[in-house]
C-alpha cells in the first residue's frame, strides 16, 4: 500500500509530480483541468514530456486524475449531462497521454429525474463515455457521501450501475472514500468494522473492483450523510480505524490518496506522516 495526496497542478500539470515529491508522496492525484469549470489546457508534446520526466525523476509510482466538481451524468439539463460525458472521456484520453493509472469521478445526482430514471441515465452515460475508448487509463466511480439524492452512496447503487454496463463492466472500477463511506453508514472505526464493511463490499460489488482509496477522516458521525473531511485521527473514524484499514490484508495492494483539510492543525504532509507511521 502506497500513500499520496491530491496535489496542485498550478502552472501546468508537469508541476504536480514535483509538488507531490516535496511533501513525501509515493503516488498522487491532481486536476488536469480547472475543477470549477473552463477549458483544459491542451496537452502538447512538450507538456507531456515534461510531466513524464518529472514523474520519473521524483520516483512517483502511480498518479490519478480527479474530474471537475460539476459532473452530473443524470442531469435533466442536456448541456450538463452531455458536457459531463464529454469531459470524462476527455480526461480519460488526457490521462492516457500522461500515463495516468485512473480517472475517478463523482457521478452526480438523480434529483432531476428520480432514482430509477437517474440510474438508467447514469448507466447510459458511462456507456457513451467508454464507447470506442482505446486508452490505457481506467475509469473509476467514486463512492459518495449520501447527502441529498446523490448517486453512488450505497454499495447496491454502485453494483446496479456495474451490472447495467454489460461487457464494459470490466473496464470500470471503484474509488472508495473512507469519509464518504462512513457518512453513508459503513462503519470503519475498528478492525471488526472494517472487516465487516469489506465483506459487504465484496458480496455486493466484488473486491476486485476496488482500485483506489481516498483516505479521509470524517467530521460527522456514522450515517450522518454529510461530506465533511477531517485530518487523519482527528475525526470520527479515528486512528484505530485507519490502522485497521492499512493493515487489512485484502487492501495491501490498494493505494491511499489524502483529501484532508489544509488548516492551522496541519496539511497533507502531517497526515502522510501519520499514515506512514501506521504502515510501519
Place of cell 490484508: 249
pLDDT of 148 strictly over 80: no
> How high is the pLDDT of residue 251?
98
Per-residue pLDDT of 170-193, as tens digits, reads: 999 999 999 999 999 999 999 999
d(CA 30, CA 7): 5
pTM: predicted TM-score of the whole model, two decimal places: 0.96
Place of cell 509538488: 19
Average pLDDT over residues 217-245: 97
Per-residue pLDDT of 97-147, as tens digits, reads: 999 999 999 999 988 888 999 999 999 999 999 999 999 999 999 999 877
Per-residue pLDDT of 15-55, as tens digits, reads: 999 999 999 999 999 999 999 988 999 999 999 999 999 99
> How high is the pLDDT of residue 279?
97
Per-residue pLDDT of 206-217, as tens digits, reads: 999 999 999 999
> How high is the pLDDT of residue 220?
97
Q: Are 239 and 277 in contact (CB under 8 A)?
A: no
Q: Are 172 and 139 in contact (CB under 8 A)?
A: yes
Mean of the per-residue pLDDT values for the chain? Answer: 96
Q: Are 146 and 180 in contact (CB under 8 A)?
A: yes
- Among residues 259, 279, 246, 276, which one has the least CA distance to residue 180? 259
Q: Are 58 and 21 in contact (CB under 8 A)?
A: yes
Q: Are 12 and 43 in contact (CB under 8 A)?
A: no
CATH of domain 3-279: 3.20.20.150
- Among residues 39, 24, 129, 132, which one has the least CA distance to residue 81? 129
d(CA 194, CA 135): 34
d(CA 24, CA 40): 27
Average pLDDT over residues 230-246: 98
Amino acid at each position: 500500500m502506497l500513500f499520496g495526496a491530491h496535489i496542485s497542478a498550478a502552472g501546468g500539470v508537469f508541476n504536480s509530480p514535483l509538488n507531490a515529491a516535496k511533501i513525501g508522496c509515493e503516488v498522487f492525484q491532481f486536476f488536469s483541468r480547472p475543477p470549477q469549470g473552463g477549458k483544459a489546457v491542451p496537452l502538447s508534446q512538450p507538456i507531456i514530456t515534461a510531466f513524464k520526466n518529472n514523474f520519473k525523476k521524483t520516483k512517483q509510482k502511480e498518479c490519478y486524475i480527479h474530474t471537475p466538481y460539476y459532473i452530473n451524468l443524470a442531469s435533466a439539463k442536456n448541456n450538463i449531462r452531455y458536457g459531463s460525458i464529454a469531459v470524462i472521456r476527455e480526461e480519460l484520453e488526457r490521462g492516457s497521454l500522461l500515463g495516468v493509472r485512473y480517472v475517478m469521478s463523482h457521478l452526480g445526482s438523480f434529483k432531476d429525474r428520480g432514482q430509477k430514471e437517474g440510474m438508467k441515465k447514469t448507466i447510459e452515460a458511462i456507456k457513451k463515455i467508454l464507447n470506442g475508448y482505446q486508452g490505457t487509463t481506467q475509469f473509476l466511480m467514486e463512492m459518495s457521501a449520501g447527502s441529498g439524492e446523490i448517486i453512488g452512496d450505497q454499495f447496491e447503487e454502485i453494483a446496479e450501475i456495474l451490472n447495467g454496463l454489460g461487457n464494459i463492466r470490466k473496464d470500470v472500477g471503484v474509488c472508495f472514500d473512507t469519509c464518504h463511506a462512513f457518512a453513508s453508514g459503513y462503519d470503519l472505526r475498528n478492525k471488526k468494522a472494517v472487516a465487516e464493511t469489506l465483506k459487504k463490499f465484496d458480496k455486493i460489488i466484488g473486491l476486485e473492483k476496488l482500485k483506489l482509496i481516498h483516505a479521509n477522516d470524517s467530521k460527522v458521525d456514522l450515517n450522518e450523510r454529510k461530506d465533511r473531511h477531517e485530518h487523519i485521527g482527528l475525526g470520527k473514524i479515528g486512528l484505530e480505524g485507519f490502522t485497521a484499514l492499512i493493515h487489512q490484508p485484502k487492501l495491501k495492494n490498494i493505494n491511499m490518496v489524502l483529501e484532508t483539510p489544509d488548516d492551522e492543525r496541519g496539511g497533507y504532509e502531517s497526515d502522510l506522516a501519520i499514515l506512514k507511521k501506521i504502515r510501519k
